[in-house]
Chain A
Amino acid sequence: MSDVRKDARELHERFSEHLDVTEDEIAERLTTLTEEYMVPREEARRSVESHYLEEAGLERDDLGSGGSNPELKVEDIEEDEQWLDLTAKVVDLWEPGHESIGQVGLLGDETGTIKFTAWASSDLPALEEEKVYRLSNVVTDEYEGRYSVKLNRTTTIEELDDEMEVGENSAEAEGALVAMQSGSGLIKRCPEEDCTRVLQNGRCSEHGDVEGEFDLRIKGVLDDGTEVQEVIFDQEATEALTGTTLEEAKQRAMDALDTEVVADDMREQTLGQYYRVRGPQFGRYVLADEVEELGGPTDTEDLLIEARSI
């Protein structure tokens, strides 16, 4: 099949329900542009598409991307206004905040989770929680560095009879540890079941005065000179980072009659050091599952060449 025919067929498929136009008519328009006016194929296609969009009174988004979309995983979504296909599970449905929103919630696959929005005007079948769907022709949206996907009237929804394990969003951060926030060091947590709140002066904000359980953590800030990332090191990561176990930290606090000395020791050991951490992202924080202490520089030569060549 010729390129013109291929393009004509695709365009016809997309416009047939909106316009009374034949594949031949579309092909003729394309041919006029490419052969008489020497317009490149892509441009011709675009121009013909625009013509019919106007005729049908449609916006480009109403029709979707046309051609085939990449099938992406959640973690690979990092571009605004990208059309794609996604196979994902509905993790959560939220209350729509506005009547223009049909459904809003959280989709997830093995690589992470992402917000989705379906407009009320798109007339889509409702998604159900815990079910897995193949969503074709959704488009990405970006707001303050966070991505979401939008379902629109061209989106096709196919329910799959699959199980899917939803993964946590993973993030990586690198830089110098420039600060350790309050709530770091030797802390006490509420012992009530399913409550792990950190106690303030022996009190849990939910359960009042309780006999707390000791824990170690660091809430730190990694800074690479361009941006900052808040990071949490849990007990295991904190022990690995400082070489001090929870038992040793408790002993140290007991000897000093002060729990604050533990955080002070940690500051001394870790502030100003460079780290690379990787782990799930929770709101503002990256939980440091993997921690690497960074030693001397590695790429001096390339930088020197670059610096000399400006």
Chain B
Amino acid sequence: MSQQAPTREVARRVFAAEFNDAEYTFKESDDERAPQYLLLPSGERANRVFVVGTLTETEDVGEDSEYWRGRVVDPTGTFYTYAGQYQPDAAAFIRDAEPPTYVAVVGKPRTYETDDGSVNVSLRPESITEVDAATRDRWVVETAQRTVERVRAFSPDTDEYDGLAAEEYGGDVERYRRAAVEALESLDSESDTEADPEPEGAGQASL
């Protein structure tokens, strides 16, 4: 009874705007096989994420062997996902895909340092599948919900990960709430063209 199967890591919901701001990774133990986490600016640790967006562009960026890059766009920005010989199904999917198309990606965050010393974050897919617009919309709402929950609960003084996030990224989580609002509004304007769009930049101005 006491022996417990290792628990599967939850796939976090995060918009590209927040995901791409992240760069700090860590492990909870020294064990070589311990899961690696990407610390999100809103204080959540993500070993795995689930993303739904529009695959807009694919390119084989490999030199010796195929290495496919896909751009997956959500209402707030772009996720970069890379798949090569160790992700044959995902690589085949990206190779054969005909953008633009809605895709769902379950994947692991990966960071790499660029030549100029900045850190980029990308997504290594465990699976990538084609989905429809309704699923995309559901993901946007769900991700907005999770983002709002994180922003609301953000307390760097009392929560270890929130504190670490504030230290690493400056603690301005308000921008992710705004991103969530804008993402929701983008759905609203798609489905209801009579809606009065907020003047551009209003969010920033009112801060």
Pair from one complex: yes
Binding site for B on A (CB under 8 A): 176, 178-179, 221, 223-228, 264, 267-268, 271-274, 284, 294-297, 299-300, 303-304, 306-308, 310
Digit string of B119-136 for contact with A (CB within 8 Å is 1, else 0)? 000000011111101110
Given contacts A225-B10, A271-B127, contact A178 B106 (CB under 8 A): yes
B138 touching A295, Cβ below 8 Å: yes
Is B52 positioned at the interface, with any CB of A under 8 Å from its CB?
yes
A176 touching B50, Cβ below 8 Å: yes
Name A179's contact: one of B127, B177, B180, B188 (CB within 8 Å): B127
**Complex interface residues of chain B between 14 and 67 (CB less than 8 A to chain A):** 48, 50, 52
Q: How far is the CA of A303 from the CA of B183 in the complex (A)?
A: 11
B11 touching A310, Cβ below 8 Å: no
For B107, the closest partner residue in chain A by CB is A178
**Count: A-B pairs, CB below 8 Å:** 100
Q: How far is the CA of A15 from the CA of B150 in the complex (A)?
A: 50
Residues of A near B138 (CB, < 8 A) are 274, 294-297
Shortest Cβ distance from B181 into chain A, in angstroms? 5
A297 touching B50, Cβ below 8 Å: no
Residues of B near A274 (CB, < 8 A) are 135, 138
Given contacts A179-B127, A226-B10, contact A297 B137 (CB under 8 A): yes
Shortest Cβ distance from A120 into chain B, in angstroms? 21
Binding site for A on B (CB under 8 A): 5, 7-8, 10-13, 48, 50, 52, 89, 103-106, 126-131, 133-135, 137-146, 148, 151-152, 177, 180-181, 184-185, 187-188
Residue pairs across A and B with Cβ atoms less than 8 A apart, 13 shown, are: A179-B8, A225-B50, A226-B10, A271-B106, A272-B50, A272-B106, A272-B127, A272-B128, A272-B131, A297-B187, A300-B188, A304-B184, A310-B148
A225 touching B151, Cβ below 8 Å: no
For B14, the closest partner residue in chain A by CB is A225
B10 touching A227, Cβ below 8 Å: yes
B137 touching A273, Cβ below 8 Å: no
B134 touching A272, Cβ below 8 Å: no
Given contacts A272-B106, A272-B129, contact A303 B13 (CB under 8 A): no
A225 touching B13, Cβ below 8 Å: yes
Most buried by B among A179, A297, A306: A297
Given contacts A223-B11, A225-B13, A294-B138, contact A267 B180 (CB under 8 A): no
Q: How far is the CA of A272 from the CA of B130 in the complex (A)?
A: 8
Q: How far is the CA of A18 from the CA of B126 in the complex (A)?
A: 65
A-B pairs, 4 with minimum CB distance: A272-B104, A297-B141, A296-B134, A225-B13
B127 touching A295, Cβ below 8 Å: no
For A97, the closest partner residue in chain B by CB is B1
For B133, the closest partner residue in chain A by CB is A296
Shortest Cβ distance from A285 into chain B, in angstroms? 12
B146 touching A225, Cβ below 8 Å: yes
Shortest Cβ distance from B104 into chain A, in angstroms? 2
